[in-house]
Amino acid sequence: MSDTQHTPGPWRAHFNEYEELLSIVYGHGRAILRPHHETDVENGAVRVVLSSCNLEAGDDFEAQHHIDIAFLVRACNSHDALLAACEALLDGLENFLHNECTTFDNPHPEETDETCIAARAAIAKAKGEKE
């Protein structure tokens, strides 16, 4: 594989009125991956295949497709562990700030700390609570 990078985020899924995946897009709606269905004639099984469509003339289709799919799989497979680690780190930081940095003028430093605020927002986004 080349040193091509995965397609930059954020990625969004677009569905039709039947909640079927139409495409995964980035930026201003440019499609990265589109599903198409393949039917096995012998047993009637249907499988969904994701096809890359974020390519310019001369791009290495095969390499970019593999890079984007590998990124998607890594992101999904690491999501729970990363979320748990972020929640544990946030809890530890909030406890530290509350126990070590509390003052009369700032009784809850963990509520205004920029790192805590950013971590809370990232955790909420990962849980699907905010976009």
pLDDT score of 5 more than 70? yes
* Nearest to 126, CA basis, from 76, 72, 70: 76
In 3-state terms the chain splits into helix, strand, coil percentages (rounded to 5) of 45, 20, 35
Stronger pLDDT, 32 or 131, i.e. the higher one = 32
Separation CA 87–CA 123 (nearest Å): 7
pTM above 0.85, yes or no: no
Structure tokens at 119: 């971590």
Residues 31-46 have pLDDT tens digits of: 777 776 666 667 666 5
Mean pLDDT for the stretch of residues 74-83: 90
